[in-house]
Amino acid sequence: MSTAENETIEEAPVTNRKQPFPRGFLDTISTGWAERPESLPAARPQAAYAAARRDAVSAAFPGKRLVIEAGSFKQRSNDTDYPFRAHSAFAHLTGWAIDSEPDSVLVFEPAESGHDVTLYFRERADRTTTEFYADATIGEFWIGPRPSLAGVAADLAVATDHLEAFSAADDDVTLADDELARFVSELRLIKDEYEIDEMRRAVEITARGFDDIIAALPDATRHARGERVVEGVFHRRAREDGNGEGYDTIAASGPHACYLHWTRNDGTVLPGDLILVDAGVEADSLYTADVTRTLPVNGTFSDVQRRVYETVLEAADAAFAAARPGVRFREVHEAAMAVIAKRTAEWGLLPVTAEEALDADAGGQHRRYMVHGTSHHLGIDVHDCAQARREMYYDGVLEAGMVFTIEPGLYFQIDDLTVPEEFRGIGVRIEDDILMTADGPVNLSADIPRTADEIEAWIARGSQG
Ligand code: GLY
Ligand code: MN
Ligand code: MN
């Protein structure tokens, strides 16, 4: 849309850092722009899946007005925001992911039958407004093209309206309401076909990122902050082929591997040490992988490193073998912990027997060396479905369509006097992303080398080229 030649634009506010725009600018800035004819897109593939999810929400909350907010920009420092990422429930129920608009609201208005659903968002302003040229956060002159109401309605196959037409009411049910938060979280426990494809895509890109890390290991050993080299090459792959990472990459070399969420990544990468890399690419759809591999920096596991590694692998394989439809989620963890208890007892690390360590009340001595859980659901959030009830999650039963991690580890802190010196400073985690099917579990990340021999061969190949 263009304005009449003689119409002048309203003036942007003057600040302590800006000169007012001169008259000539204001008189001409809104004119001289070509029309923007819009051809409406076909609905994106996830639109039909999102519609089915909205139907489930509507059926669960008859007569209630539901308001699902995308969230807003969050400031990082002056004039600088964190990259916007929509709330996961909003993305799940709209199919609007990396390209969604901040401050959007999905509203379920009770209707005669079910709900009328409308997506409210801030439509792009036309060029007669100060927003267009003077608003650095949302103006198209600054951030690039923004979508129209009709374009988003066609793309997501949902009714749209301008954000100004939305008003909140006192009895709205929002994500701050436990019942709604729980429902939309539990709705994500079983992934549909679209989500499973996106999980596969996220894992595939992650696999390429790990190949890049292998190729960069020699460089990493030559850099004072080698862990940053590792983080950086993964980041490059994540940004080039996806939206980014689903969580901050952990590049933890040597004793840092024993800090479970080491994301400072400012250490050296030394030949002879292991480096634990926990990294996952988030696809443009916001589905994320979550994979850990522990690599010998010089390409070969020492005897003690291999012993620890193979125990963690044994625990991972035991967990995988325990996972099948109908089994409780916690049984997967228990299978891994049985191996950890058995081996740490055999190594003489425990003041009790493995059996005693596994006692639910008096045991847990082995947990000193693996304090975290073995599994969590995975999806749009790296720790997905977090508001699900315990009976649906930890005590819940595995079903086809669930995606979760298996990620046992062993961590012997550098100053842990309960372990022989040769163990100290060794941390190993092996994390894979598992899809449950009616026929049993599928390891989506199985193509990323995981046995000690495969890893040594992978590093040998990677350093050749
Ligand atoms: N990357 C965090 C986790 O594995 O759960
Ligand atoms: Mn994980
Ligand atoms: Mn992880």
Full pLDDT tens readout for the chain, 465 residues? 334 444 456 666 777 887 888 999 999 999 999 998 889 999 999 999 999 999 999 999 999 999 999 999 999 999 999 999 999 999 999 999 999 999 999 999 999 999 999 999 999 888 899 999 999 889 999 999 999 999 999 999 999 999 999 999 999 999 999 999 999 999 999 999 999 999 999 999 999 999 999 999 999 999 999 999 999 999 999 999 999 999 999 999 999 999 999 999 999 999 999 999 999 999 999 999 999 999 999 999 999 999 999 999 999 999 999 999 999 999 999 999 999 999 999 999 999 999 999 999 999 999 999 999 999 999 999 999 999 999 999 999 999 999 999 999 999 999 999 999 999 999 999 999 999 999 999 999 999 999 999 999 999 999 765
Rounded to the nearest whole angstrom, what is the distance from the C-alpha of residue 417 to the centroid of ligand 2?
Answer: 28
Q: What pTM was estimated for this model as a whole?
A: 0.95
Q: Which of 278, 312, 403 to mutate to test the pocket of ligand 1 (most atoms within 8 A of CB)?
A: 278
- Closest ligand to 372 CA? 1
Copy the structure tokens of residue 130.
Answer: 């100060």
Q: What distance in Å separates the CA atoms of residue 398 and residue 441, rounded to the nearest whole number?
A: 10
Rounded to the nearest whole angstrom, what is the distance from the C-alpha of residue 452 to the centroid of ligand 2?
Answer: 20
Q: What is the pLDDT of residues 303-339, one digit of tens each?
A: 999 999 999 999 999 999 999 999 999 999 999 999 9
Rounded to the nearest whole angstrom, what is the distance from the C-alpha of residue 373 to the centroid of ligand 3?
Answer: 11
Indicate which atom in ligand 1 lies nearest the CA of residue 383. Answer: 5
Rounded to the nearest whole angstrom, what is the distance from the C-alpha of residue 250 to the centroid of ligand 3?
Answer: 8
Output the residue whose Cα is nearest ligand 1's atom 4. 290
Closest CA to 426 of 251, 306, 279, 278: 306
DSSP string, 345-403: HHTT--SS-HHHHT-TTT--GGGGG--S-S--B-SSSSSTTTTS-TTTTTTSB--TT-E
Indicate which atom in ligand 1 lies nearest the CA of residue 407. Answer: 4
Indicate which atom in ligand 1 lies nearest the CA of residue 376. Answer: 5
Residue type, 419: V
Work out the mean pLDDT of the chain and round it to a whole number. 95
Rounded to the nearest whole angstrom, what is the distance from the C-alpha of residue 375 to the centroid of ligand 1?
Answer: 9
- Closest ligand to 404 CA? 2
Rounded to the nearest whole angstrom, what is the distance from the C-alpha of residue 394 to the centroid of ligand 1?
Answer: 16
Output the residue whose Cα is nearest ligand 1's atom 3. 290
Rounded to the nearest whole angstrom, what is the distance from the C-alpha of residue 418 to the centroid of ligand 1?
Answer: 26
Indicate which atom in ligand 1 lies nearest the CA of residue 292. Answer: 4
Is residue 7 exposed (0-12), middle (13-18) or buried (19+ Cβ within 10 Å)? exposed
Per-residue pLDDT at 422: 98
Residues with CB under 5 A from ligand 2 (ion): 290, 405
Using CB distances shorter than 6 Å, the residues near ligand 1 are 247, 278, 290, 376, 382, 407, 431
Indicate which atom in ligand 1 lies nearest the CA of residue 280. Answer: 1
Rounded to the nearest whole angstrom, what is the distance from the C-alpha of residue 229 to the centroid of ligand 3?
Answer: 19
- Closest ligand to 433 CA? 2
Q: What distance in Å separates the CA atoms of residue 186 and residue 206, rounded to the nearest whole number?
A: 26
Residues in the chain: 465
Q: Give percent of the chain above pLDDT 70.
A: 97
Q: What distance in Å separates the CA atoms of residue 225 and residue 277, rounded to the nearest whole number?
A: 15
